[in-house]
A and B are shown apart, each in its own frame.
Chain A
Amino acid sequence: MALPKPNKKLTGSESSYLVEVIKGMVITLGHVVKNIFDQDRFRTIEYPDVRKPMTPRYRGAHRLLLRPDGGIKCVACMCCPTVCPARCITIVAGENPNDPAEKFPVSFDIDMLRCIYCGFCVEACPKDAIRMDTKIYEINAYNRQDMVHSKPYMINLMDRLKPEASEAYRADHTTAPAGHTPDEAPVAGGHLG
């Protein structure tokens, strides 16, 4: 499809550019003035030292939850890989002879390069074993392999948050999404679910 050429003629004041530059500066200076006199609603933040609080329903990186007794909640029922439209979840099921849950995921990998953050896996889970409530949006790595989040990584995901992250950001993670009871899973190093 050929794009139409911009054929808008510049008006007299636009063609000199000077007026337009001043208009832009006025907006910028307006923010400066607002930030000085209305510091409760600061318009810019000092990322990454300060982070914007995400809305409660924001879907960040997945985490896997543990039961109060320390076992993994997931029973490898395969509902999430079945419902996943990006086919990014790979689970290998195994049997745990000592666990009343019988079945557990030997491995649980999510290819974050393929994930589209739709949250269907969370909705499909009958055991509340996977959540996307971490609000972690910096999902990055130096190679493709590290973009596949593994079971141990996702269990300990909350611990990986940097301690220097702002209090507001950490506090924001202590509220469970509506409809979920906060799990009392004893994750080493302070659990924030």
Chain B
Amino acid sequence: MPKVKVNDVELEVPAGTNMIEAAKLAGVEIPHYCYHPHLSVAGNCRMCMCETDTPRGPMLEIACNMQARDGLVIRTETDNVKAVRKSVMEFLLVNHPLDCPICDQSGECRLQDYYMDHGKYDSRGNEAKVGKHKRQDIGEHIMLDAERCVQCSRCVRFGDEITHTGDLALMNRGDHTEIGMFPGMRLEHDYQGNLADICPVGALTSKDFRFQRRVWYLRETASVCTGCATGCNIQVCHQEGEVFRYTPRRNDDVNQSWMCDPGRDRHVAIGSLSRVLRATVDGAPSADAIPELARRIRAAGAGRVGFVLGTQASLEANWAMLQLVRANCPDAKVFWVAGADADAIAKSDTFLMDADKNANTAGVKLLAEWAGNVGDAAALRAADLALLVVLEDDVVSRVGEVLAPALAYLGTQHNPTTAAAAIVVPVAHVVEMDATYLNRQGRVQRARRATNPLGEAVPAYQALDALGAALGRAPGTRMPVATFLAMARVIPRLAGLDYRGLGTNGKLIAPATPAAAEAK
């Protein structure tokens, strides 16, 4: 590995690392606009200029295009570098409209940040600024303001390299250069939100988040998207119990820096009218839905009670259901239903959007494989049941019929299953609890609690713990950390894992053993 020197820090970096990344490893931040770790190097913003030694003496070069090689020395804080950064800032801001009061980017704007860090010059602008097209509605999720653009071309490269749609382009020349769409065209792909994220200034902003909240009010909680089996890493941006947006969180092994628009829109469901907020028994609000459910389970007799694991529920919740059955009614039948409806398949691709719209199908498979006697949809249809307890999955739409004389549903949203269910217990949304999910790669990832559960909701593993207590033996799944540890102790594929060990990027678990695969 080549040995490079950043300021006075000597370090070894992998060959091919560019100097922005190398400096980051050395703890030095090099300002940049056009460079993005998941896009090609354009080298047109000139903000990352650093001083390096050449045969002709110290020269300025752009760090994003400088690859680490043995003996490479860069200096990022010399007077020369500082002067060049200041000049670059001045150039970039020559025609900038200073829209900050109405710009959604302010607070997370590179122009603001770098001006305060590296600019701070006295304005010499006596000429009128070049006006460009403002407030252009270029797609379902994106607004374009060409005046604010610094022509970094990140969005152009995103269209060329990630979505392969090539929809945005730099047009005109000189200081009249602006980002635009071809006439009559609109953004059509499902990854538009990323354009607002990668735009280092306020030129491309999100329409969904437009004027909703100033970003400096928002708190960010690291979580995962539960919109499909991919499990993109996200930041939940929330303020005082209200979630305003999801933004992708970098995880090179799962979603790089991207996420899809349907995933971003999912936060709308948290506080929507379709949310289940009250426990009901036979359609009427009830304070003791869980004791009533326990009574009905006992009345039905263990042999005629079915439990459906939830492919949308967390590992902890499914584990709680398995443990509850094991402790209280070992004769009850347990099922799981794989689900990918036709609509979901239409909205899928080979990049991030999986046809399986359930976040934890792999997790349920893992638990079912471990538990051994879990039936599938066909077994569920064939079973003779008096009562079916469903965890989060919309089983009625998925199987196409109401499968038992009585249904009990623990879930977050109203759907055909809640309509058919005799007992409905509200449970917490993914942003309202600590939980883990297993994505399609077999990566265990953590969602962290960002806000408090709405209404009467509690995390599903706690609701199931209460149900177990009402039945006689609680599965002991009140605390997610302990629940995960209990799982990791007995399930070989999770062995050695705990919440802390999962870190921010999750952990890949061992693939299913060949023996288990054969047994299926």
Footprint of B on A, CB under 8 Å? 75-79, 82, 93-95, 100-103, 126-127
In the complex, chain B residues whose CB is within 8 Å of the CB of A76: 102, 211
Q: From B106, which residue of chain A is reached at the shortest CB distance?
A: A77
Given contacts A94-B211, A95-B211, contact A82 B102 (CB under 8 A): no
Which of B122-146 touch A at CB < 8 Å?
134-135
Q: From A76, which residue of chain B is reached at the shortest CB distance?
A: B211
In the complex, chain A residues whose CB is within 8 Å of the CB of B100: 77, 126
In the complex, chain A residues whose CB is within 8 Å of the CB of B106: 77
Asked whether B36 is an interface residue with its Cβ less than 8 Å from the other chain, the reply is no
Asked whether B400 is an interface residue with its Cβ less than 8 Å from the other chain, the reply is no
A60 to B237, CA, bound (A): 37
User: Residues 102-121 of chain B: 1 if any A CB is under 8 Å from the residue's CB, otherwise 0?
Assistant: 10001000000000000000
Given contacts A75-B102, A79-B101, A126-B101, contact A102 B135 (CB under 8 A): yes
Asked whether B216 is an interface residue with its Cβ less than 8 Å from the other chain, the reply is yes
Q: Tell me how many residues of B have a C-beta within 8 Å of chain A.
A: 12
14 A-B pairs within 8 Å (CB atoms) are namely A75-B102, A76-B102, A77-B101, A77-B106, A78-B217, A82-B214, A93-B211, A94-B211, A95-B210, A103-B101, A103-B102, A103-B211, A126-B100, A127-B101
A130 to B284, CA, bound (A): 51
In the complex, chain A residues whose CB is within 8 Å of the CB of B216: 82
In the complex, chain A residues whose CB is within 8 Å of the CB of B212: 93
In the complex, chain A residues whose CB is within 8 Å of the CB of B135: 102
- Are B211 and A77 in contact, with the CB atoms below 8 A? no
Which of B206-235 touch A at CB < 8 Å?
210-212, 214, 216-217
In the complex, chain B residues whose CB is within 8 Å of the CB of A95: 210-211
- Are A75 and B101 in contact, with the CB atoms below 8 A? yes
Q: From A97, which residue of chain B is reached at the shortest CB distance?
A: B135
**Min CB gap B216→A, angstroms:** 7
Other CB < 8 Å A-B pairs besides A76-B211, A94-B211, 9 of them? A75-B101, A76-B102, A77-B100, A77-B214, A79-B101, A82-B216, A82-B217, A93-B212, A102-B135
In the complex, chain B residues whose CB is within 8 Å of the CB of A103: 101-102, 211
In the complex, chain A residues whose CB is within 8 Å of the CB of B217: 78, 82
**Min CB gap B16→A, angstroms:** 43
In the complex, which of the residues B100, B210, B212, B214 has the most CB atoms of chain A within 10 Å of its own CB atom?
B214
- Are B102 and A78 in contact, with the CB atoms below 8 A? no
A11 to B134, CA, bound (A): 82
In the complex, chain A residues whose CB is within 8 Å of the CB of B211: 76, 93-95, 103
A102 to B134, CA, bound (A): 10
**Min CB gap A121→B, angstroms:** 14
A94 to B102, CA, bound (A): 11
Smallest CB-CB A-B distances: 9 pairs: A77-B101, A103-B102, A93-B211, A78-B214, A75-B101, A75-B102, A102-B102, A126-B101, A103-B211
In the complex, which of the residues A77, A94, A126, A127 has the most CB atoms of chain B within 10 Å of its own CB atom?
A77
**Min CB gap A38→B, angstroms:** 52
In the complex, chain B residues whose CB is within 8 Å of the CB of A100: 134
A175 to B214, CA, bound (A): 34
A127 to B98, CA, bound (A): 12
In the complex, chain B residues whose CB is within 8 Å of the CB of A75: 101-102
**Min CB gap A81→B, angstroms:** 9
In the complex, chain B residues whose CB is within 8 Å of the CB of A77: 100-102, 106, 214
In the complex, chain A residues whose CB is within 8 Å of the CB of B210: 95
A96 to B102, CA, bound (A): 12
Which of B41-63 touch A at CB < 8 Å?
none
Q: From B102, which residue of chain A is reached at the shortest CB distance?
A: A103
A127 to B134, CA, bound (A): 20
In the complex, chain B residues whose CB is within 8 Å of the CB of A126: 100-101
A82 to B106, CA, bound (A): 13
In the complex, chain B residues whose CB is within 8 Å of the CB of A102: 102, 135
A95 to B143, CA, bound (A): 13
A78 to B100, CA, bound (A): 11
**Min CB gap B204→A, angstroms:** 15
**Min CB gap B166→A, angstroms:** 29
In the complex, chain A residues whose CB is within 8 Å of the CB of B101: 75, 77, 79, 103, 126-127
**Min CB gap B22→A, angstroms:** 37
A101 to B214, CA, bound (A): 17
**Min CB gap B245→A, angstroms:** 15
A100 to B133, CA, bound (A): 12
In the complex, chain B residues whose CB is within 8 Å of the CB of A79: 101
A171 to B101, CA, bound (A): 33
A102 to B143, CA, bound (A): 12
A102 to B101, CA, bound (A): 10
**Min CB gap B132→A, angstroms:** 14
A76 to B100, CA, bound (A): 11
A75 to B214, CA, bound (A): 13
**Min CB gap A98→B, angstroms:** 11
In the complex, chain B residues whose CB is within 8 Å of the CB of A127: 101
**Min CB gap A107→B, angstroms:** 13
**Min CB gap B152→A, angstroms:** 23
A127 to B101, CA, bound (A): 8
In the complex, which of the residues A78, A79, A82, A126 has the most CB atoms of chain B within 10 Å of its own CB atom?
A78
In the complex, chain A residues whose CB is within 8 Å of the CB of B102: 75-77, 101-103
A186 to B135, CA, bound (A): 29
**Min CB gap B212→A, angstroms:** 8
Q: From B211, which residue of chain A is reached at the shortest CB distance?
A: A93
Which of B273-309 touch A at CB < 8 Å?
none
Q: From A127, which residue of chain B is reached at the shortest CB distance?
A: B101
A82 to B210, CA, bound (A): 18
A50 to B290, CA, bound (A): 71
Which of B69-114 touch A at CB < 8 Å?
100-102, 106
